[in-house]
Amino acid sequence: KEYFSVKMRASLQGRHVSGAERIVLKEDLPTVISQLSQRPKEYDSLNIKVEKINDLNYIEKSLNVKTINVKDWIEGNKVAVEILQNQGVDKKIAEKYINLIHQGAVNGENMRGAMIVNLSGERVEKDKTRGIRTVNIDFEDRKAITELLKEKGYTERTVDALALATKTLNHPDIVAEYCISDDPSYTTGYVATKTTYYRINPLKQLSNEKGGRIYFVKDTANIEDIYQYLESEAFLIKQ
Ligand code: PML
């Protein structure tokens, strides 16, 4: 079977407004390209990139999803830090970088990709403005997963974020991830561990335009290998 990656990104006045990715069979390309092109509400520039995948890998199962409702984003972040601490991340280190994400990690602006922080508290991504981006990931049966998650009250964004987090945490050197959306109206965020995607609602203050991701890695992490795995290797998640 021939698989293709379809990546869409849209911007408005030079600002990124929407992005999505699918890995699909050749015969599904027309449908998927059309769907993705209709996804952003407003834009003045939209790119769709289609690339053939030569080497496709599989992940058996996505992370388990658990929702934690809290009274406000401050409380949400306390819960997030506790989960991170249970994964071996120092409290002070977790708090420092979480604060940075909430304030815009590049001089008050969002990074394009994720920050990588090791357990000693050092930032180890190669480019601190760009960060690292988890790409080339999808569910083998996206429709079924989406229906299942929507039944449980989750959103389309949960589906996309769950796929990304499942790939990210599947790397042996990555121990946990923290994420808040850069959409000012979307306040549910998550912390992912090796087994579980904890949706924390809310995890950021309503109307905050800052957002991003932090990947916490072992001190011995092979950074080159993490880039190669997250940015170049293609995976489908079976369920
Ligand atoms: C994003 O879209 O930028 C992040 C999405 C976070 C999804 C949280 C959830 O609803 O599970």
Best residue among 111, 158, 204 to mutate for probing ligand 1, ranked by most atoms within 8 Å of CB = 158
Residue 125 has pLDDT above 90, yes or no: yes
The three-state (H, E, C) secondary structure of 141-202, written as one string: CHHHHHHHHHHCCCCHHHHHHHHHHHHHHCCCCEEEEEEECCCCCCCCEEEECCCEEEEEEC
Q: Are residues 40 and 151 in the same domain?
A: no
pLDDT for res 15: 86
pLDDT for res 120: 98
Domains identified in the chain, total number = 2
Q: Which helix (H) or strand (E) holds 137?
A: strand 137-139
Work out the average pLDDT over 94-112. Answer: 96
* Cβ atoms of 175 and 87 closer than 8 Å: yes
* Cβ of 110 less than 6 Å from ligand 1: no
pLDDT for res 119: 98
Beta carbons within 8 Å of 139's beta carbon, 6+ residues apart: 62, 145, 159, 163, 236, 237, 239
Of 191, 198, 213, 33, which is closest to residue 135 (Cα–Cα)?
213
**Alpha-carbon distance values, 131 to 105, 115, 222, 231 (Å):** 10, 5, 16, 11
- State the Cα–Cα distance between residues 98 and 93, nearest whole angstrom: 9
Best residue among 177, 190, 200, 213 to mutate for probing ligand 1, ranked by most atoms within 8 Å of CB = 190
Q: Are residues 97 and 34 in the same domain?
A: no
Q: Are residues 19 and 116 in the same domain?
A: no
Domain end point (choices 31, 54, 77): 54
Work out the average pLDDT over 147-164. Answer: 94
Q: Are residues 126 and 35 in the same domain?
A: no
- State the Cα–Cα distance between residues 203 and 83, nearest whole angstrom: 13
State the complex-level ipTM: 0.96
Q: Is 60 left (phi over 0), alpha (psi -120 to 50) or beta?
A: alpha
Domain end point (choices 17, 34, 54): 54
Residue 140, SS3 per DSSP: coil
pLDDT for res 170: 98
* Cβ of 204 less than 6 Å from ligand 1: no
pLDDT for res 122: 98
Q: Where are the alpha helices (DSSP H) in the chain?
A: 29-37, 73-86, 91-103, 142-151, 156-169, 223-227
Q: Are residues 123 and 154 in the same domain?
A: yes
Q: Are residues 91 and 135 in the same domain?
A: yes
Higher pLDDT among residues 183 and 77, named by residue: 77
Domain boundaries, position 225: 64-237
pLDDT band at 16 (very low <50, low <70, confident <90, very high): confident
End-to-end CA distance of the chain: 19
pLDDT band at 25 (very low <50, low <70, confident <90, very high): very high
Residue 74 has pLDDT above 90, yes or no: yes
**Alpha-carbon distance values, 94 to 70, 73, 177, 215 (Å):** 19, 15, 10, 11
Q: Are residues 223 and 191 in the same domain?
A: yes
Both tokens of 41, joined, read 């509400």
Best residue among 152, 154, 186, 191 to mutate for probing ligand 1, ranked by most atoms within 8 Å of CB = 186
Work out the average pLDDT over 176-189. Answer: 96
Work out the average pLDDT over 150-174. Answer: 96
Report CA(28)–ligand 1 centroid distance (Å).
26
Q: Are residues 83 and 13 in the same domain?
A: no
Q: Are residues 45 and 95 in the same domain?
A: no
Report yes or no on 45 lying in a domain. Answer: yes
Of 175, 177, 184, 183, which is closest to residue 162 (Cα–Cα)?
177
Higher pLDDT among residues 48 and 112, named by residue: 48
Q: Are residues 45 and 89 in the same domain?
A: no
Q: Are residues 49 and 75 in the same domain?
A: no
